Amino acid sequence: MIPPRRSRLALSVVFLSLLGVGSARGQDQPRAKVHVEICEAGLSEKPEWPKDVLAASDRYEADALAFFHVPFKYIDTGIRADRANPYLLRATADVVFPAGKHRILLRARGASRLFIDGRQLLTTPFVPKISDGHAPIPTDYLDLGPDFRFKPPGNREKWTTFESKGSTHRIVLETIVGGKRGGGIMKQDLGETVAAVSFAGSESFHLIAPVKVITYTDAGWREFEETEWARLHALEAGRRKDALAQHAAVWEQRRADAKAWLASTPEVKVPALPKGMPGHNAVDHFLAARIEAAFQAGDEARGRIDYDTQVRPILQTKCFSCHQGDKVKGKLRLDTRAAALKGGVSGKAAIVPGLPEKSELIARITSMDKDEKMPPQGPGLTVDEIKLVRQWIAEGARHDSVGVKRRPVPGRADDLTFLRRVTLDTVGVIPSPSEIDTFRVDNRPDKRAHAIDRLLGDPRWADHWVSYWQDVLAENPNILNPTLNNTGPFRWWIHEALLDNKPMDLFVTELVRMRGSHYLGGPAGFAMASQNDAPMAEKAAIVASAFLGVQMKCARCHDAPGHTSTQKDLFELGAMLNEAPLAVPATSTVPKDKLHQGRKALINVTLTPGTKVAPAWPFKAFLPSPPGRGVGGEGTLARTRDQLASAITDPRNERFAQVIANRLWKRLMGRGIVEPVDDWEKNAPTHPELLRYLGRELVRGGYDLKHLTRVIVNSHAYQRAADADLKEVDPLHLAHAPRRLAAEQIVDSLFLAAGKRMDTEEVSLDIDGGRDIKNSLSLGKPNRAWMFASTSNERDRPSLSLPRVQAVVDVLEAFGWRATRQFPLTDRDVSPNVLQPAILSNGVVGTWLTRLSDEHGITRLSLESKTPDELVEQLFVRVLMRRPTTDEKATLVEHLRVGFDQRVVKSPAPLLATKRAPPKYVSWSNHLTEESNQIKIELEAAARRGDPPTPRLQAEWRERMEDVLWAMLNSPEMIYTR
Amino acid sequence: MPPPLTRRRFLGALAATALADRLRAQETPRGRAEHCIFLWLGGGFSQVDTFDPKRVGAPAERVAGSAYPSIATAVQGVRVTEYLPRVAALMDRLTVVRSVHHNVVDEHAAATLRVHTGRPTTGTVAYPSVGSVVAHERGALEPGVPAYVLIGYPNVSRGPGFLGPRAGYVYLTDTSAGPAGLTRPADVPPDRQATREYLLQQLRQPGAAMQGYDQAIAESLRLSGPQFLRAFRLEEEAGALRERYGGEFGQRCLLSRRLIERGVRFIEVSHNLNFLNGTGWDTHNEGHERQHLLIHELDVALAALIGDLEQRRLLERTLIVVATEFGRPSAFDARGGRSHQAAAFSMVLAGGGLRHRGAYGATDELCQRITERPVSIPDFHATIYASLGVDPARTLYDGPRPVPITDGGRAISALFA
């Protein structure tokens, strides 16, 4: 917040400027900070400076006259919004110059001008017309000293001299950001908008700054950028907090309403912990009660075929898509015993207990008749499967579990295994060496609970969860020409919402309202679906599966055999998002001739294309009707989006909290209480009471996902040792099963284990900002895996490649990350394929991670370790989070002992310094030149070569060490939780 | 136990499903090709300047027509541009399908997706590319090699869609680099690799849960071993043959032949080396001026590939496809180039045991409309699938959802003997 004194000062500057007494600026009290003003009103869209001094609509402070990012504007409850385009940035600094003739440099992306003591000293021009591909590789670089930083892409620069008598000067930098050109809207990028000074007698430049001394060299800028980002992010977080505070009353009322609802409804009874079962909290009580029941059943029925583990999976893959749940084909349900005994329209019992030959089910699955056989399409049951079902019927066809053999519940995993698991599950990476050390020396009995609390306060929580919601909400930005169902980059909204730990009901509300910026990362980006003729129908299906566990994707074109939701339901929901009736497009149907081919059609088309469907809440079973009034005294909700958000998040709609709780449970425990987690029509919950309990616990905790996470990861069940032979998570949660890490966790953990910075290009094909905001995005320079996006541009031009980005994307894609997310997905394919180990062991990222370069984390470890023994011990803990076995240790120590004592090079020859040269960059504007291809081909080769090896380690031993590291990073346990 | 005559069975019989099926089976020809080399001319190659020549126009005056005169070919009555003399001499080994059409012209990515998957963009199904379908249906011909190799940049349209990663491609961006993930880094010679594998072996004692991944490791070590990677050593080929194939695109075609010999099923080769003319086949404006260089490179490489395959008796079992996202109109734009046209354009089929006829289908005098035998993208795909012995009507499954391999496509029966 700007203190009132400054506001007065700013006003007086405007006033004096209006009078044309610019030089009077210097007479104000000198300031220790740069005062930045953003002026959004009064600018022409044409490339021209305003005649008047514009009033500021936003202000903040900075350390220097150096800008690469302006804090976002936040509206509503703290979502990004667009600023006026163009806007003017005015930065005022009071700076003491020594006496002498100094060189002054100005560079900027937009038009800029620099005033000293009211006199205009330098200007840079408006953005020139940038060619659509045919521009040359730029050569117009200033080079003003031996350590001079060359201008980055898309900036224009000027310099001059200025003589100071040695006094305080008021320096004002103005730049016009964005604007229109032709029919296009330019991105509001600042490039590197900088005023710098080189004092008389010095060869180097500094950023012009009142107090701080910041050298304007490549290294100086890197450091400045890092601290400045941290400062700007904190500033933005403050702005979001302030925005949300404006709505505090509404959300406090919501909390109160939720509490009242909890009080008015019966609590779920927590069962007693069965004797001899371990338990930390209520979660364990629910699980243990179920385990005990299964044990008891198992004691009685030894050796029989078990429905849950043996029969159900067969029915699930082969029969349930049509014969399960409330809506079934031929009026036959197979998922309950009573229904199966009754049979469907044929009038015959599908199952006659004890008599497989009298059971119609057996007749159908063994039929060779095209019109009789089941399933009607696709592969039928295998011989073994048929045998199993037959025997199950012969044994009486019991639909309940016959239980499991009694055995001891495993104890807790050891400390390091626990730390690795819980760190991956909360912040998405393995623990860092210092986190490991801290945990190891902690002697408190409740050290795990403390570690959990620390992790839940870690901002990396947001990084871990962004990728999940990117998948579930089908975030799908494309850096070039949106085409294939592309959205805006609302990843940034997801990330900030998670950083702020916004409660889930607020998260949903912001999403469903779809307000704010389309292209800068507001929830409005969710509203977009390029080349989709009914985006709101698309979004409705996403919202339904994400937050209500209702799968509606088939309903886009027809009423599906396996789902109760009709096409009308989907379009009603879509119309709510549309805030107006929604027409069924001509493509959202199935032609009659394709419906009826031989056997009776499995699907029905009940809406004709062109039908206009009015907004309506289709899920009366969850909540009879959407509340007409906002929960928090928001008054009448006139807008259907608000009604929808309110209906989803109303505590009386218990489905919502349970779906969220179930999503969290699945992520932490490896298996949903209801499966699939995005489609609740298929299976009943394995632990219905626990599900209700968790749902209510989420509401009780104010819809805080971290609260519920704390409950679950503190349970004994979560902390139990894993059974390395368990291929699938046991529905009883007796033991943990190893889980394959997500692609993002793998990439982030590998970089962390190696202590290597993720150093790629900016994820953009328009780095000089020449293109329209609508067809070229920049997603910035990634430092976590979720920040990547597809490099696909369907153009096959080397000049449009991003070799370093592609190298990481190759790894991510091999492990199931989707470069494009055309539709929502909750459970990725984690099945192994040959490209996964291949890309890790031979790929470009593999080279980066295993080459012991100067700044590689293992280089330092190698230099500092006293003995091969110590080195191997430390490596294991650092990379695999466990102690080596005796055999492992023996092998590796033996391998590293050779040349260990001579490994350190006493006076290493410095790495060849690369010659300072202006960057030759390729952007969309110049990608059609032959030279641009050459540049990118060279960059690709450089990426493949990787960083040069450190000269501080003797080469032969270094290679031995690299080979050890390679083996560890490529071992299967690296990519699983234990 | 014979099933009783139910109402449904009765109706089914009435609907003559079985008969319809039999009829369809008769209609759907099956070829015997084992491989497919899919040459992708990204950007949208101009059919009027290559395989469907019209009267010569004048870019400067903006008189519509072909840019270059045409020449006769080995097939009487079929003419191609003068920049395709080598291919012209082999015209009886191929068929230009001149009547291909779809309706996506605005954006390359969307049209590329259409031609690779035969389907429009949807939010509910990610359709597999033609290469992935072939990989899924037929797998690699030999063990230890990938089914589907891409020589070009990874793109969404080339991906496996709902078929999942197993139907995906191994890619390389240029012939000298080797495939991503399978080519060992330059500083890891065989002895060093052996050390690495020995060390990894010490750490590879996973439980059953990780066994699948452990097997994948073993498989990947085999795949990145010398046997398969030898395919990428083009220097093993005779110098004269390498020269006959020409530049980088030709070398990609030569590599494709080597991959086929090792049992790779489907290879997509990208030919969009835009440094020859600035824009590749997307010949807007100035890009048109040096388009003939691209056509010449295509002529050299395609003729060499056909000739080489024929000499090795591989042509009959290898279908070569020349495909593109759309064509271009015979009219010129203001700066002498051409915009996009999807309503009528050409794609080429060669070899693969088809009964070739030089050309199939026809367009009007300025290639604005199709006048004979229109071929939709699903039809074109169906022809590819049928020639490879894959039933174009077969149903794949995206979860429970049935998805026919082609959207009602019918193979061009005239091309099947």
Share of chain A above pLDDT 70, in %: 95
The 3-class SS string of A312-352 reads HHHHHHHCCCCCCCCCCHHHCCCCCHHHHHHCCCCCCCCCC
Rounded CA-CA distance A932/A137 in Å is 7
Mean local confidence (pLDDT), A442-450: 97
- Whether residues A481 and B210 touch (CB distance < 8 A) is answered with no
What residues of B are in contact with residue A947 (Cβ under 8 Å)?
none
State residue A1's pLDDT score. 36
Q: Choose between B140 and A406: higher pLDDT.
A: B140
The half-sphere exposure of A693 on its side-chain side, counting CA atoms within 13 A, is 19
C-alpha to C-alpha distance for A554 and A568, rounded to whole angstroms: 12
Task: Report the residue from B12, B109, B165 with minimal CB separation from A598.
Answer: B12
Q: Which residues of A touch B217 (CB under 8 A)?
A: 837, 841, 970, 972
Cα–Cα nearest to A780, from A520, A476, A470, A481: A520
pLDDT, tens only, A799-833: 999 999 999 999 999 999 998 898 999 999 888 98
pLDDT for B23 equals 53
Q: What is the mean pLDDT of residues B43-48?
A: 96
For B109, the closest of A562, A794, A797 (CB atoms) is A794
A267-274 average pLDDT score: 97
What is the rounded CA–CA span in Å between residue B344 and residue B340? 10
Token reading at A179:
């604007």
Lowest mean pLDDT among A120-124, A404-408, A701-705: A404-408
CB A567 within 8 Å of CB B124:
no
For chains A and B, CB pairs below 8 A equal: 270
* The pLDDT of residue B102 is above 50: yes
The C-alpha of A383 sits at a distance from chain B's nearest C-alpha, in angstroms, of 18
3-state SS assignment for residue A297: helix
Instruction: Give the pLDDT band of residue A413 (cuts 50, 70, 90).
Output: very high
Helix (H) or strand (E) holding A372: none
Residue A974 is given by DSSP the state G
Give start-end residues of each CATH 3.40.720.10 domain in chain B: 29-183+224-415
Query: Residue A347: closest CA among chain B residues belongs to which residue?
Result: B6
Q: Is the peptide bond before A353 cis (omega within 30 degrees of 0)?
A: no
- CB distance B401–A554 less than 8 Å? yes
Measure the CA–CA gap between A640 and A648, rounded to whole angstroms.
Answer: 12
Question: Which ipTM was obtained for this model?
Answer: 0.88
Asked if A971 and B20 come within 8 Å (Cβ–Cβ), the reply is no
Nearest CB to A928; choose among B126, B170, B278:
B278
Residue partners of A577: CB distance under 8 A and separation at least 6? A512, A514, A527, A536, A539, A540, A543, A640, A641, A644
Q: What is the reported pLDDT for A594?
A: 67
Tell me chain B's radius of gyration from C-alpha atoms: 23
**Tens of pLDDT along B157-202?**
999 999 988 899 999 988 877 888 888 998 999 999 999 999 999 9
Tell me the nearest-neighbour CA distance from B408 into chain A, angstroms. Answer: 9
Which residues neighbour A27 within 8 Å (Cβ) at sequence distance 6 or greater?
Answer: none
Give phi and psi for A36, each to the nearest 5: -110, 130
In B106-152, DSSP assigns E strands to 148-151
Q: CA A961, CA A677: separation in Å to the nearest integer?
A: 44
**Residue A820 and residue B164: Cβ atoms within 8 Å?**
no
Which of B353, B416, B395, B380 lies closest to B130, judged by CA? B380
The minimum CA-CA distance between B74 and chain A, rounded to whole Å, is 33
Model pLDDT, residue A76: 96
Q: Which long-range contacts (CB under 8 A, 24 or more apart) does B76-81 make?
A: B77/B358, B78/B358, B78/B359, B79/B53, B80/B50, B80/B51, B80/B53, B81/B49, B81/B50, B81/B51, B81/B53, B81/B295
Res. A3 pLDDT band, cuts 50 70 90: very low
Which amino acid appears at position B200 of this protein? L
Mutation for A interface: B205, B275, B396, most A CBs within 10 A: B275
CB contacts of A819 in chain B (<8 Å) are 154, 156
Among chain B residues, CA nearest to A529: B123
The partner residue sitting opposite A888, judged by closest CB among B157, B203, B224, is B203
Which residues of chain B make contact with A370, given a CB cutoff of 8 A?
Answer: 12, 17-18
Task: Tell which CATH architecture fits domain B29-183+224-415.
Answer: 3-Layer(aba) Sandwich (3.40)
Model confidence pLDDT, tens digit, residues B371-398: 999 999 999 999 999 999 999 999 998 8
The one-character DSSP state at A599 is: B
SS3 A103: strand
Could you tell me which chain A residue has the CA closest to the CA of B203? A971
Q: Is the pLDDT of residue A628 over 80?
A: no
Overall average pLDDT of the A561-573 stretch: 91
- Mean pLDDT, chain B, integer: 90
Q: Which of A839, A934, A967 sits opposite B180 (nearest CB)?
A: A839
Nearest in space to A425 (alpha carbons), one of A722, A649, A862, A54: A722
Q: Is B81 in a helix, a strand, or coil?
A: strand
Average the pLDDT over A608-614 and give the result: 93
Question: In the predicted model, what is the mean pLDDT of residues A781-785?
Answer: 96
Question: What is the pLDDT, as a whole number, of residue A20?
Answer: 36
Point out the least confidently predicted range of A590-604, A859-873, B269-283.
Answer: A590-604
Are B94 and B87 contacting, i.e. CB atoms less than 8 angstroms apart? yes
Q: CA neighbours within 13 Å on the CB side: how many for A69?
A: 18
**Residues pairing with A164 in the sheet:** A100
Per residue in A183-226, pLDDT (tens digit) is: 788 999 999 999 999 999 999 999 999 999 999 999 999 999 99
Task: Using CB atoms, pick whichever of A794, A831, A971 lies closest to residue B200.
Answer: A971
Cα separation, A225 vs A228, whole angstroms: 5
Q: Would you call B274 and A975 a contact, using CB atoms and an 8 Å cutoff?
A: no
Spell out which residues of chain A touch residue B6, defining contact as CB-CB under 8 Å.
346, 371-372
Indicate if the pLDDT at residue A930 is higher than 90.
Answer: no
A512-550: pLDDT as tens digits: 999 999 999 999 999 999 888 899 999 999 999 999 999
Q: How does residue A9 score in pLDDT terms, banded at 50, 70 and 90?
A: very low
Q: CB contact, 8 Å: A887 with chain B?
A: yes
Question: Among residues B276, B46, B337, which one has the least CA distance to residue A132?
Answer: B337
Q: What is the pLDDT of residue A597?
A: 55
Write the pLDDT tens digit of every residue in A55-64.
999 999 999 9
Structure tokens given for A537: 């129908």
User: Is the model's pLDDT at A244 over the cut of 90?
Assistant: yes
Give the residue from A483, A805, A940, A959 with the most B CB atoms within 10 Å of its CB, the best one to mutate.
A483
Is A740 near chain B, with CB under 8 Å? Answer: yes
Residues of A in Cβ contact (< 8 Å) with B208: 724-727
Q: A745 with A753: CB under 8 angstroms?
A: no
Answer whether A971 touches B (CB < 8 Å). Answer: yes
To the nearest whole Å, the CA of A638 is away from the closest chain B CA by 30
- Encoding tokens for residue A172? 């004002």
Distances (CA, A) of A40 to A85, A112, B270: 8, 16, 47
Instruction: Report the length, in residues, of chain B.
Output: 417
Average pLDDT over residues B295-323: 98
Rounded CA gap, B101 and B370, in Å?
Answer: 8
pLDDT tens digits, one per residue of A678-711: 999 988 899 999 999 999 999 999 999 999 999 9
| Rounded Cα gap, residues B375 and A871, in angstroms | 67
pLDDT of residue A11: 38
Q: What is the mean pLDDT of residues A876-901?
A: 95
Residue B186 to residue A839, Cβ atoms within 8 A: no
Residue A86, preceding bond cis, omega within 30 degrees?
yes
Q: Do B210 and A973 touch (CB under 8 A)?
A: yes
pLDDT score recorded for residue A14: 38
Contacting residues of B for A809, CB less than 8 Å apart: 154
pLDDT of residue B6: 46
Q: Per-residue pLDDT for B4 more than 70?
A: no
The answer to whether the Cβ–Cβ distance between B8 and A599 falls below 8 Å is yes
Q: Does A562 reach chain B within 8 Å, measured CB to CB?
A: yes
Q: Bigger pLDDT: B287 or A581?
A: A581
- Report the 10 Å Cβ neighbour count for A8: 10
Distance in angstroms (rounded) separating the CA atoms of residues A680 and B220: 38
| Domain layout of chain A by residue ranges | 4-245, 302-394, 743-975
Contact A794, B270 (CB under 8 A): no
For residue B175, the 8-state DSSP code is T
Burial degree of A608 (CB within 10 A; 0-12, 13-18, 19+): exposed
Chain B residue numbers with beta carbons less than 8 Å from the beta carbon of A822 are 121-123, 126
Phi, psi at B330, each rounded to 5°: -75, -15
Q: Which of B12, B107, B180 is closest, CB to CB, to A843?
A: B180
pLDDT at A632: 47
Tell me the residue length of chain A.
Answer: 978
Residue A956 CB burial class (10 angstroms; 0-12, 13-18, ≥19): exposed
Chain A (810-829) residues lying within 8 Å, Cβ to Cβ, of chain B? 810, 813-814, 816, 819-820, 822-823, 829
Question: Among partner residues A562, A823, A946, which is closest to B124 by beta-carbon distance?
Answer: A823
Question: What is the mean pLDDT of the segment spanning A65-90?
Answer: 97
Confidence of residue B93 (pLDDT cuts 50, 70, 90): very high
